[in-house]
Amino acid sequence: MATSAPHPLPETQVGVYECAITLKFRILEESQVMADREHLLELLIDAFSYGSDEFVEQLESQVDVTEVSEMQAAPLMRRQLIRLRNLPAT
């Protein structure tokens, strides 16, 4: 998985955030594809990111972001947070 903040700006504060995304849309797709749960989320997000067209109809989208204590993050994520905060200013 790619990192979303490899080089924070000197004045940027890096934190831990909880993100809840609600996407509701209609899509034209083969039923076999919709039954493959392992690829389904990736397929749906890709389709949604292209925007509404004759195959995808957006009904609702909502994003809620809340900063949380870094102690709520997994140990690996906390170590990454420390590394990001300790990057030398460029």
Domain boundaries, the chain: 16-85
Question: What tens digit of pLDDT does each residue of 34-60 get?
Answer: 888 878 888 888 877 887 788 888 888
| 54: Cα separation from own chain's centroid | 25
Q: Return the closest-CA partner of residue 56 out of 47, 67, 68, 45.
A: 47
What is the pLDDT averaged over residues 59-64? 90
pLDDT band at 62 (very low <50, low <70, confident <90, very high): very high
Helices vs strands, H then E, count in the chain: 3, 2
